[in-house]
Structure 1
Amino acid sequence: MTIEVDIVKRETIKPSSPTPPELRHFKLSLFDQFYPIFYTPLILFYAGSDPSEAAQEKSRRLTTSLPEVLTRFYPFAGRIVDNLSLGCVDQGAEYLEAVVNCDLSRVLKEPDTAVLRTFLPATADIERADATTMPLVLVQANFFECGGSAIGLCVMHKVADAEALCTFVNAWAGTATGAITEAMIPEFRTASMFPPLDSLANSFPSIVPAKEKCVRRRFLLESSKVAALRKRIEGPGGPASTAVEAVSALLWKCSATASRKKKANLNKMETPRTTMLSQTVNLRRRMEPQLPSNLAGNLAGYFLTRADEREMEMRVLAVRLREALEGYCESHVKRLQGDGACAAICEETKEFGELLGKSLVMDEMDFYSCTSWCRFPFYEADFGWGRPVWACQESADCPNFFMLMDARDSGGIEVCLTLREEDMALFEQDPDLLEFASLNPTIRG
């Protein structure tokens, strides 16, 4: 039987209190300006309860708490005016309700990307529309026959990075249960820290399309496997690597090796080729002093490191990652806290765009992007029916992209990875990958 998701309700939900006149013109920060028009998706799955009452009660709790949290996160209920500001006159968020013709266990047994995307609000038509008409938050509440549920959430990246998204989700859950804390109440002051450029007011960045077919796979490294990987990389007397560094090094090594093998097969010869990895950095945790986690907006940078085919060894790559992060914090992050912040952000964005173009358009190098959502407490989002049994991120098929999230079991890491089709076929056969990661295992509720 095909899994069917039927939309049975659609409404616009507005803040419970009107936004004061002095807050209705909201400036974006310079970081916000450099993000294209696209949504960051998140799906939270919850185990079932009494099916006869679950959907009605859950829907009521979601729809009565969302207006309250939108009052606190008032820019999220606004609309884009240009690439400089938002108009916050309480246009609201889009809320959809859907029924699913199966039990949640069927979805979690062998998660399928095509099915998972049906639990999210459709954004393709919205992203092609006029940016000034787009809702910044879209929600789809999905209810299964067993009483389980899935909350699909899409938030415009212009207003929130991963940490801001997590703060919003937990503030919404805290509002629903009456357990909201001071740490969940957002601060909106990034534009005063990193003022926008007027020259970018009418210029929205675009997304570079992939030329080749890409495929996505989900992998799980259980906590024991992450520990074993870190031990392998550390070696006798070597420097300790973090879990994210170790997993990133594994993925980088296996991906670059697959790409080199594919090109050798096509060209019938080995061709030396540079490989680079960019990894996101949550700047709130890197500033001195640290910035609060509830500081909303975009505050993410990235560092770069490169290697050649002679250095495709996990220990070497892990050290490169550690050194690159330390260098980034020592130089770039310090510039962000000084008079050179604007120049530093512009230079970083330009460099990233040029490297992406060389990889996707000109095929001059292998360029990989890694984003880590580890340590973000998505699994704490309890709307009144327990914590999620699974939190996952389903994004567009961007090639050579690694997405890391904490697994539900403490210490494990889930990977959502997108590669070109030919590279993925070789990647999945890598012995190092097979030793530490399992492909798309069942989610244990």
Structure 2
Amino acid sequence: MGRGETPRFRTVVDSRVESVHTVRAGTAGGGRVRLTAYDLLTGPWYTPLTFFYRGTLDGGALRSSLARTLRRYPPLAGRLERDADGGLSVRCNDAGVRFTEASSCDPMRAYGHRLRAQPVIGDVVREVSPFGVVGRDTPLLKIRLTRMRGGGSVLGVLISHSLADGGSALAFLENWSREHLGLSWEEPSHDRGALDALGRLSDDPATRDGRAFVGVGRTRHLLTTLRPGLRKRATVTTRFEAAELAAMKTRALGELAELTEADPDAWVSTNDVLTAHLWRALAELRAHPAEAVQWLGLVVGARSGLGGALPSSYWGNCVSKSWTSLPAGDLRGRSLGAVAGEVRGCLRNNTEDKLRDEIAFLGSYRRRGVSRHVMSAHALDASEMSLTVNNWSRFPIYRIDLGAGRPFWYEFPDLPAPTAHITPTPDEDGGRDVYLCLSEPHAAQVRTGRWQERLHPHAVSGRAG
């Protein structure tokens, strides 16, 4: 790359639309599903997920199995409507899902860490404006199947974030896979009232003061939402092998034991250690002054914290966030074990009392018709002073078999704020793939040999991921 050139972080796959179909379940008996306050937090945006297959997928067979799957997922074939109090509901009218088939004159390439592609092939993202969804005949699920010359397929999935968090989106895709293969799968629960009923304001002042969400005025909400988009971001990936993670965890546990002596609760998980390592490395990359506060936001699933009060098959948004912070100098100077302990402590704050209080707090804004004024408590820090970590390492990303084997690669979109997206590897061998979404200059630095070595000091083979 020459001086002054813009680095290329992704390749573009050209494709041509061949046909567009509307896939319906064949029944419209789902009524209306009123979305929860957790659902309303996301706004009417879509989550694009892209899966790359070496085999060729059969579009007709996919549409048939998708129609059968939609019978148990009526919201996905429905349409969003505004409620009288400003909330949202899904009218389960079986208006349908858009399924586009396309072809590419290019062969399937060896996509992966060193060769990235756009997260959705073709114009699928541009086809959906988040401002033209509510009260319109706009599909809440779009599928685009692109066949490559000589074999291989790319499956782009665009799903309304108002309906599902990442775990629920992947659960739907895994169930579609099981339906396609003729396997049994669990009926999802669309009873959003089950989550709303769990709301209970906390009696603990510290819990109330530490809420992950706050109510703000319309102007502040708009400015805070738009500000991250002013900086161009790019995503780079790197792989942490299982042996490398084991070495990191052994070191961290040893350091933590020295700090906490005989504390029986002094334990950290592999993901805690990886998160701590990424947070420290990013603090070094950014080189902020020692006193500058560095924020870490952890996206956490609320289901486990609610103590089994929700059905295991609950389908929707059920995600909270926990925050912690350290001065940049402290973060760079602390041991890996000490920072991993900070991460674990942040996760432990996600108690049942905190989650029930959060549900009640968010519900109160919905009842007053001002849900759109609620945002993350540290959204104003969603800048170069923060890192949000979203851990998908237990999700079935590489088990979405739709008749052509499992995918060999998966792409995730660039996000408006600095984010570390953690996933399993294609081999599901205990390693982790990390998608780091950073400002373009920082992303370019991370791709250099020096920074790959900095990210992988515990690589057993001595090779950066």
Structure 2, unaligned runs of 5 or more: 1-10, 200-214, 258-265
2-structure distance, mates of 1:353, 1:334 = 17
Q: Is 1:11 the equivalent of 2:21? A: yes
1:354 shift after superposition: 4.4
1:316 shift after superposition: 2.1
2:402 aligned residue = 383
TM-score after normalising by structure 1: 0.82
The one-letter amino acid paired with 1:375 is R
Q: Is 1:416 the equivalent of 2:435? A: yes
The one-letter amino acid paired with 1:357 is L
Contact 1:217–1:439, Cα closer than 8 Å, also in 2: no
2:93 aligned residue = 89
2-structure distance, mates of 1:2, 1:388 = 19
In structure 2, relative to structure 1, the CA distance for the partners of 1:65 and 1:125 (3 Å cut) is: closer
The one-letter amino acid paired with 2:247 is A
In structure 2, relative to structure 1, the CA distance for the partners of 1:334 and 1:27 (3 Å cut) is: closer
1:303 shift after superposition: 0.9
1:217 to 236, 255, 259: 236
Q: Is 1:322 the equivalent of 2:344? A: yes
1:253-300 CA distance string (max 9 Å, x none): 1112222x2x5xxxxxx4620011111111122221264442101111
1:370 to 385, 389, 394: 389
The one-letter amino acid paired with 1:321 is V
1-structure distance, mates of 2:120, 2:458 = 27
Q: Is 1:186 the equivalent of 2:188? A: yes
The one-letter amino acid paired with 2:100 is L
1:380 shift after superposition: 2.1
Structure 1, unaligned runs of 5 or more: 49-53, 264-269
Contact 1:96–1:121, Cα closer than 8 Å, also in 2: no
**How large is the RMSD of aligned CA atoms in angstroms?**
3.3
TM-score after normalising by structure 2: 0.79
In structure 2, relative to structure 1, the CA distance for the partners of 1:102 and 1:172 (3 Å cut) is: same
1:226-279 CA distance string (max 9 Å, x none): 1122122222563442122111111111112222x2x5xxxxxx4620011111
The one-letter amino acid paired with 1:355 is H
Contact 1:155–1:165, Cα closer than 8 Å, also in 2: yes
Contact 1:274–1:307, Cα closer than 8 Å, also in 2: yes
The one-letter amino acid paired with 1:294 is S
More helix by percentage: 1
Contact 2:121–2:156, Cα closer than 8 Å, also in 1: no
Q: Is 1:63 the equivalent of 2:82? A: no
1:291-324 CA distance string (max 9 Å, x none): 4442101111111111112322332221111011
Contact 1:98–1:141, Cα closer than 8 Å, also in 2: yes
| Paired residue total | 409
2:260 aligned residue = none
Q: Is 1:43 the equivalent of 2:50? A: yes
Q: Is 1:127 the equivalent of 2:130? A: yes
The one-letter amino acid paired with 1:353 is S
Q: Is 1:75 the equivalent of 2:97? A: no
1-structure distance, mates of 2:312, 2:398 = 16
What SS is found at the alignment partner of 2:130? helix
The one-letter amino acid paired with 1:383 is L
1-structure distance, mates of 2:267, 2:278 = 18
Q: Percent identity?
A: 21
Contact 1:255–1:423, Cα closer than 8 Å, also in 2: no
In structure 2, relative to structure 1, the CA distance for the partners of 1:45 and 1:422 (3 Å cut) is: closer
**1:9-408 alignment, distance < 5 Å:** 9-15=19-25, 17-20=26-29, 23-48=30-55, 54-55=56-57, 58-82=58-82, 83-108=87-112, 110-114=114-118, 116-118=119-121, 121-123=124-126, 125-133=128-136, 134-182=138-186, 185-194=187-196, 207-210=225-228, 211-235=230-254, 238=257, 239-259=266-286, 261=287, 263=288, 270=289, 272-289=291-308, 291-312=310-331, 313=334, 314-329=336-351, 331-333=353-355, 335=357, 342=363, 353-360=376-383, 366-390=385-409, 392-408=410-426
What SS is found at the alignment partner of 1:286? helix
2-structure distance, mates of 1:380, 1:226 = 23
What SS is found at the alignment partner of 2:378? helix
In structure 2, relative to structure 1, the CA distance for the partners of 1:92 and 1:327 (3 Å cut) is: same
Contact 1:26–1:88, Cα closer than 8 Å, also in 2: yes
1:267 aligned residue = none
1:39 shift after superposition: 1.0
